[in-house]
Structure 1
């Protein structure tokens, strides 16, 4: 992204770039790797396979396969997995592809804008808490006898209404599947 356009954008937003921690600093194992222009981060291959009727995903040599619930294991089409994961970007006209096992897009403007206040997001939906297991897909809003997966695309929009109001698409970024405490929000413009 051109520096002058970025400075203009920050001025239009009043210079406000949120720096909200996903969790308390003491609980963070290590800082997330920063995103670079066009990099959308790691992939949700297990969830892609499950959405397509398979039980799980496994890696054999350098190829990922959707496995279980079918007679034949199927190689994961990585670009299709990226397009599924970032279907909101595809719907907005972005080209979303796989690049070396990471998802990429073609924005004209791109900024790492914030972490996500997960508990506050869950509270805004009427849940009392947020829970997490050992990967990014394990986050849940919980409370009142219910536990539902967190839609981090929606959480990023909720966390960054000023960027949404300026026409940006907000998406989650994580460096890898195990980076459960390093999920950030990216703002992309076509």
Structure 2
């Protein structure tokens, strides 16, 4: 009887040591959900001009690598991903990955994308209101596609209109709660169809 009690006591001590020393089960690490932030068209000519070239041109009809930066005497390969990252610098600065993709194998269908926790789309822009907020009399379009917008003074002076800054101003309430807001368009010719999109971690 005493032997049985001794064995039971030893077992209880061993089990107690196991429970006390056991590590808790490790929960799987939480993974932040991410969504594709569709940013639309990319200003390839504007990007090439920042590199010292005249603009961008397509040298083929079907390949996704058919775009080149060019000037009168030279051509150079063009990284559309780098162009998207240049165009959407506010998103890059905020830590969002920015990349590019095509619609199938069509060289003319390059679009920019980012990855974020959530995204919102804000239709239309108040460009005249933004220009007024920085001391100008209004906004006008000079005919150079989406990049042709200017803030103007009645005296005739103009400055290029920063579309990203206009979106940030127009949607200041969203910026205040952590959104990064940028200007987006579908096509380089959509001068009067520019909208804003917000990204949040």
Same fold (TM over 0.5): yes
Three-state SS of the structure 2 residue aligned to 1:115 is coil
- Superposed counterparts of 1:1-190, under 5 Å: 37-61=36-60, 62=63, 63-68=66-71, 71-100=73-102, 101-132=110-141, 133-143=143-153, 144-190=155-201
Q: How far apart are 1:37 and its partner, in Å?
A: 4.4
Counterpart for residue 3 of structure 2: none
Which ranges in structure 1 are unaligned for 5 or more consecutive residues? 1-35
Q: Distance in 2 between matches of 1:117 and 1:172?
A: 12
Tell which has more relative contact order, 1 or 2 (C-alpha 8 A, sep 6+): 1
Three-state SS of the structure 1 residue aligned to 2:136 is coil
Q: Distance in 1 between matches of 2:144 and 2:157?
A: 20
- Cα offsets for 1:34-53 (capped at 9, x unmatched): xx941111001111011111
Three-state SS of the structure 2 residue aligned to 1:105 is strand
Q: Distance in 1 between matches of 2:121 and 2:36?
A: 9
- Cα offsets for 1:143-166 (capped at 9, x unmatched): 133221111110001000110000
Three-state SS of the structure 2 residue aligned to 1:181 is coil
Counterpart for residue 16 of structure 2: none
Q: How far apart are 1:134 and its partner, in Å?
A: 4.5
Q: CA RMSD in A?
A: 1.5
Three-state SS of the structure 2 residue aligned to 1:106 is strand
What TM-score results when the alignment is normalised by the length of structure 2?
0.73
Which ranges in structure 2 are unaligned for 5 or more consecutive residues? 1-34, 103-109
* Deviant stretches of 4+, over 4 Å: none
Q: Distance in 2 between matches of 1:114 and 1:162?
A: 15
Q: Distance in 2 between matches of 1:162 and 1:172?
A: 16
Q: Distance in 2 between matches of 1:134 and 1:73?
A: 23
May I ask how many residue pairs the two structures share in their alignment?
154
Counterpart for residue 29 of structure 1: none
